[in-house]
Amino acid sequence: MIKLGRNDACWCGSGQKYKKCHYNFDSKIEQAEREGHEVPTHDLIKTPEQIEGIRKSAAINIAVLDYVAEHIKAGVTTEEIDRWVYEQTTQRGGIPAPLNYEGFPKSVCTSINEEVCHGIPDKNIVLKDGDIINVDCSTILNGYFSDSSRMFCIGEVSEEKKKLVQVAKECLDVGLKEVKPWGFLGDMGQAINDYAMAHGYTIVRQIGGHGIGLEFHEEPWVSYVSKRGTEMMMVPGMVFTIEPMVNMGTADIYEDEDNGWTIRTEDGKPSAQWEIQVLVTEDGYEILAY
């Protein structure tokens, strides 16, 4: 990184002098780095213009999931959900980010019961009474990425599955409390893991959240089994997802060998996940997509 002079134009593009803009901000980051913390590079700190672009992308993602919420029910196939997502996204000028992403064949991930994530929509998969399903949507608009997912309970769902879905949602609130500038991602990770464990659940270790905005998956990788005071420092302008996968039984998972995507719990017990996309602000956070 080139060291700017105090009177140089700030790296953020504001047009202001560095000393009047991100000088103190960078000093804080450099201090943390000297203390041995992981810190974000400048390209992970979004400008106001980029944040506005991400917000507009996120508005589509939210609308698409709202549409799914209104229409999802027993008897619907996951292929139909895929079609809704494709149509609702493109009608609003967006592109579904999963489509052709590293070869993913569909516009959305649909993960039912013991499927942890990355379920592939299929015309032969019919939602039935008692299922729980995660619908994970991601949108590209003008090059800006958004990503969020929600759980849906189909018809009469058992009390124990309902509880899992509820606690997985509460994990986001617990995590959000820890999202503030100059804190650490591990503060959030530990809070979420502690909360899930207190309810007798486990958190998937190998798959986590991610930075997002100019790419689908940016640095940092975000763990929800991390420890307070560790992992990357959170600074204003960072955008990342909170998306812990909460398992009723073991935390262990495996990948479907045939399709190379779908992740399932090792013990076949249910898993639940909600995902939001957040921006770190000067005094806390803003939820961009849910």
Nearer to ligand MF3, 23 or 101 (CB): 101
Positions in 191-250 near ligand MF3 (CB under 6 A): 210, 241, 243
Of 44, 76, 109, 116, which one interacts with ligand MF3 (CB under 6 A)?
A: 109
Specify the amino acid at residue 115.
Answer: E
Regarding 241 and contact with Co ion (CB under 5 A), the answer is: yes
Nearest to 242 by CA among 200, 281, 206, 290: 290
Nearest to 54 by CA among 180, 215, 179, 188: 215
Of 82, 115, 131, 147, which one interacts with ligand MF3 (CB under 6 A)?
A: 147
Of 147, 178, 187, 231, which one interacts with Co ion (CB under 5 A)?
A: 147
Q: Minimum Å distance from CB 184 to ligand MF3?
A: 21
Of 187, 275, 276, 280, which one interacts with ligand MF3 (CB under 6 A)?
A: 275
Nearest to 248 by CA among 271, 277, 230, 225: 271
Integer Cα distance of 139 and 160 in angstroms: 32
Concatenating the DSSP letter of every residue in 223-290 gives -SS--TT-SPBP-TT-EEEE--EEESS-S-EEE-TTTS--EEETT---EEE-BEEEEEETTEEEEEE-
Instruction: For residue 205, give Cα distances in angstroms to 20, 56, 169, 227, 247.
Output: 42, 31, 18, 13, 11
Residues 147/212, Cβ–Cβ less than 8 Å:
yes
Of 57, 78, 134, 138, which one interacts with ligand MF3 (CB under 6 A)?
A: 138
Regarding 57 and contact with Co ion (CB under 5 A), the answer is: no
Nearer to ligand MF3, 31 or 100 (CB): 100
Give the interface segment with Co ion, choosing from 56-64, 120-128, 235-243, 264-272 (CB under 5 A). 235-243
Integer Cα distance of 126 and 80 in angstroms: 9
Integer Cα distance of 136 and 23 in angstroms: 38
Residue with the CB atom nearest ligand MF3 in the bound state = 98
Give the interface segment with Co ion, choosing from 1-9, 20-28, 39-47, 239-247 (CB under 5 A). 239-247
Regarding 82 and contact with ligand MF3 (CB under 6 A), the answer is: no
Regarding 94 and contact with ligand MF3 (CB under 6 A), the answer is: no
Nearer to Co ion, 131 or 147 (CB): 147
| Residues in touch with Co ion (CB under 5 A) | 147, 241
| Residues in touch with ligand MF3 (CB under 6 A) | 98, 101-102, 104, 109, 118, 136, 138, 147, 210, 241, 243, 275
